[in-house]
Each structure stands twice: as C-alpha cells, then as structure tokens.
Amino acid sequence: MTQQSLADYADQGDPIAAPDGTCLFRPGDEGRAFLIVQSGVVRVEQTNAAGRTVVLYRVRAGDSCVLTTTCLLSGRPYSGYGYAEGAVTAVAISAARFQALMGRDAGFRELVFRGFAQRVGELTDVIDALLLHRTDLKLARWLSGQPAKVARTQQDIAQELGTAREVVSRTLKSFERSGWIAVERGTITVLDPAALENHGLQDGV
C-alpha cells in the first residue's frame, strides 16, 4: 500500500495560482484555507517592529504551512508573511472542509500533524541559529552551499540570515579581503568555497 500524502487530498479544495512576488498572507489575516502547494515555493517570514526580517521556512510542493495550520486550529490570525517565490500553484481547502477532514479522516489528521511537527523542528533550528551563532559563521556556511555566482542583493542575504544589511556588508568585505569571494553590485562570486566551509564549521559564540 502506497503511503498517503497531502497531494491525495487535492480534490477536497479549489485550485489557485499566484505569480512571483504575490503576498499570500500577512500579519492580521484570518486563516481562511489550508493550502497544499503543488508547484513553486512559498517563503514564510516575520518582521519585527524595527523592520528586521527573518525567513522562517519555505513551503515546497507537497508541503503545508505551519502558520496556516496554527491559524486554522487556534482561530488566531497570521503572525507572519507568505510570499510566492516564482509562480505558485496550490490547492486551497476551505477552513470548514479542513475542520471536517480533521474530525473524520485519521490519515489527513496524521499528515497535518506530521507536517506541523516537522516545521516546528525547523523553526527551532532557526531560533537556535539566531541566538547562538555569529553572523560571519552563518554567512560563510550559507555561501559555501551556493553556486559560484550568487545573484542576490545584500539586503536579500540579510533577510535570509535574519540580520541587518550593514552586518552582511561588513562581513562580505572581510571575506573579500581574505580572498574567499569577490563582490560586485548584486552579485557575489565564490572563489574559495572550502575556506568558507571551514570557517563556518567553527563553534559560534
């Protein structure tokens, strides 16, 4: 018997499509539907009062969103943002249908809670990284896993790592002086991924 997946419940909802950059939800929005992503990626992030943004996780094909699940189960509004990265297609299961499936379908309930638990684990990792590890180590590890040409702005990278653009800028200049990267406007060339990886493996403080 094949293992069930959320994709098996696509007929329980309505298809939706969102172009790149669409804001799918924002703080204060009510949870109106349980989304099952079919293609594309939804980036989920949070912004504090000072304007600092951190990427919490990404929802890919077959995944569900822990913030959406939380909203539907608790009745509380969204506390973060969800943006389409590239064109996104998904199935939207209405809140009423979601509650009905949770009540009567043990397989669906298991899939929802399994996805929820996985995302909570990822969020714990994000919090751990923010609290315990230096930005230079996080940035070195991130760059060592990228292609040779990284077409991202410093603001994009700061958002990805949950830090300030100025911190990323200073760290990149330090890496450039070490000969590990070359920085141009909107592009970073990784020259020595091994050195970046070794630097990133140090213990953070």
Place of tokens 């509650």: 99
133: which DSSP letter? S
CB 132 within 8 A of CB 176: no
User: What is residue 47's predicted lDDT score, i.e. its pLDDT?
Assistant: 82
Sequence-ordered list of residues with C-beta below 8 angstroms from that of 76, at least 6 positions apart, any chain: 70
Query: Is this prediction's pTM over 0.75?
Result: no
pLDDT tens sequence across 94-150: 999 999 999 999 999 999 999 888 888 777 766 666 654 578 888 999 999 999 999
What stretches of the chain adopt beta strand conformation (E)?
14-18, 23-25, 33-47, 53-59, 81-94, 149-150, 181-184, 187-190
Residue 163: the pLDDT is 80
Q: Are 157 and 168 in contact (CB under 8 A)?
A: yes
Closest to 194 (Cα-Cα) out of 181, 205, 183: 181
pLDDT the model gives residue 196: 93
d(CA 81, CA 88): 15
pLDDT at 1: 36
Euclidean distance between CA atoms 142 and 175, whole angstroms: 13
pLDDT beneath 70, residues of the chain: 1-3, 49-50, 125-133, 203-205
Instruction: Please list, in sequence order, all residues whose beta carbon lies within 8 angstroms of the beta carbon of residue 10, skipping any fewer than 6 positions away.
Output: 36, 38, 91
What's residue 81's pLDDT? 94
